[in-house]
Structure 1
């Protein structure tokens, strides 16, 4: 799983999202340097992990209606890597991700269910659709949003988005090496986004 850099302690957004400066829906652009996707899988019964860059992210947050938050994330599957060269080669090959034909993976949100307190920083569930190998399936991701340490209460110019969930790779046709690699893949997405002025 991805761990946020230790020097970046995060503070919950909370009700400060209702400040006048962000009273209207705000669109954010991706900070690629601080954003990535971690994934876990099993190989011969042993847990392994890898990384995949985020190619783009279009995220819109409406402080007056947090449930209307919209997320559209595209992952660069062709640049996915594990700690094992042979595993990376197999993963990106034709019977798993097949990046020669399908170089990206896309997640689009459809609805957001907030926690009881109505704050994204205390967790939410995002229902959406994931497209992998040109196959689109429903998926649910757990989400939380934070602002960076040192920012003022009304400063939401930079936000860290955490998304987590899991999928069945065979459901998307990425079913290669079933005797060696487990079907369940766990995702941990960290996206650093900055408000578009």
Structure 2
């Protein structure tokens, strides 16, 4: 290849790089803990009950150009779970249900995001992930929504709100204690706010 042709090739590649669209990559977001609530529901003797469980750690990455490339790993603190019925808390954390002494955390790791209508994480979007509870890992699908603050500009993405809902069968994870009193289905309602890290 002659020097001239080499120079032309280098110039063409440089021009291609300069005009190619910039592809965003996932960027880290921090969890605003004071604005985050992990709530769960269950049936006790046929009566709906609620509880909460705090987050121990959260590793969240959002790709604002290709939302399906976003990912998250969240670890919950089992020992600090609460219910509105104080007498139900100890059995819930005991060896027959969550067994907090042996399994102090619950982990969710996303594996796939399916976008909703209009390519958004809302309007029917789902997040599939692996849930590890009592040392047992099973897939779970959560309905997902990701929002900007009301009134914010379209490109204002420094602060985002997340709403996830879903359900699991506790028996699949071995948390089968008190089956005569507590129903098998545990509902999940997760609301969180995340902020882009500097």
Query: TM-score w.r.t. structure 1 length?
Result: 0.85
Structure 1 segment 17-28 matched on structure 2, within 5 A: 23-28=24-29
Structure 1 segment 26-175 matched on structure 2, within 5 A: 26-175=27-176
How far apart are 1:86 and its partner, in Å?
A: 1.2
Deviation larger for 115-124 or 25-34: 115-124
Task: Provide the rounded CA distance (Å) in 2 between the counterparts of 1:80 and 1:146.
Answer: 27
Q: For residues 135-184 of structure 1, what are the alpha-carbon distances to aligned partners after superposition, in whole Å with 9 as ceiling and x for unaligned?
A: 10011111110122343332211111111110011111111100000010
Task: Provide the rounded CA distance (Å) in 2 between the counterparts of 1:57 and 1:192.
Answer: 12
The count of aligned residue pairs is 177
Q: How large is the Cα RMSD of the aligned pairs? A: 1.6
The structure whose residues are more often strand, as a share, is: 1
Over alpha carbons, which structure has the higher Rg? 2
The structure whose residues are more often helix, as a share, is: 2
How far apart are 1:23 and its partner, in Å?
A: 4.2
Task: Provide the rounded CA distance (Å) in 1 between the counterparts of 2:82 and 2:135.
Answer: 21
SS at match of 2:175: coil
SS at match of 1:171: helix
Decide whether the 8 Å contact of 2:117 with 2:124 is kept in 1.
no
Deviation larger for 155-164 or 181-190: 155-164
Deviation larger for 118-127 or 181-190: 118-127
The structure 1 segments of at least 4 consecutive aligned residues displaced by more than 4 Å after TM superposition are none
SS at match of 2:89: helix
Task: Provide the rounded CA distance (Å) in 2 between the counterparts of 1:111 and 1:39.
Answer: 23
SS at match of 2:91: helix
Query: TM-score w.r.t. structure 2 length?
Result: 0.84
SS at match of 2:122: helix
Map of 2:179 onto structure 1: 178
Point out where structure 2 has 5 or more consecutive residues left out of the alignment: 1-20
Map of 1:14 onto structure 2: none
Task: Provide the rounded CA distance (Å) in 2 between the counterparts of 1:158 and 1:191.
Answer: 11
Task: Provide the rounded CA distance (Å) in 2 between the counterparts of 1:118 and 1:194.
Answer: 22
